[in-house]
């Protein structure tokens, strides 16, 4: 992405960080943690949009392949829980597609 945007005018950055390491996060639902992560990254990087994808915390009861995706816009945040099939690499791809589709729907207010 940065090869297409060398001055970082559109793509401002990304972060990979652990989640759920404090008691507040452990008391939150997966969707709430994903919305908080999307909001935090949006504010940290200074963008209009934040996107997050999280796996369940250790010990949470969710089927294999469960992922929480969220988008944060300046006026709202929304999350979705999805069960993704396949091997880990395919699940990562599906999680990205799901997060970008959620963003598309929020930007066009459809769905």
Per-residue pLDDT tens digits for 39-97:
998 998 888 999 999 989 888 889 889 999 999 999 999 999 999 888 888 888 899 89
DSSP sequence for 48-80: S-EEEEEPPPTT----TTEEEEEEEETTEEEEE
pLDDT at 1: 43
Q: Which domains does the chain have, with CATH numbers?
A: 23-108 (3.90.950.20)
pLDDT digits (tens, 9 = 90+) for 22-33: 666 677 899 999
pLDDT at 85: 84
| pLDDT, average across residues 9-33 | 70
DSSP letter for 22, please: S
pLDDT at 45: 86
pTM, two decimal places: 0.80
pLDDT at 102: 94
CB-based contacts of 53: which residues, under 8 Å, 6+ apart?
Answer: 34, 67, 68, 69, 70, 95, 96, 98, 99
């Amino acid at each position: 992405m940065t090869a297409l945007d060398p001055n970082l005018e559109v793509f401002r950055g990304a972060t990979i960080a652990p989640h759920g390491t404090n008691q507040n996060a452990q008391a939150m639902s997966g969707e709430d943690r994903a919305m908080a992560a999307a909001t935090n990254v949006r504010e940290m990087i200074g963008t209009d949009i934040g996107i997050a994808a999280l796996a369940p915390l250790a010990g949470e009861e969710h089927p294999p392949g469960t992922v929480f995706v969220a988008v944060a816009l300046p006026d709202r945040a929304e999350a979705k829980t999805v069960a993704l099939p396949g091997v880990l690499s395919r699940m990562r791809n599906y999680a990205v597609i799901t997060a970008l589709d959620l963003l598309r729907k929020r930007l066009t207010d459809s769905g």
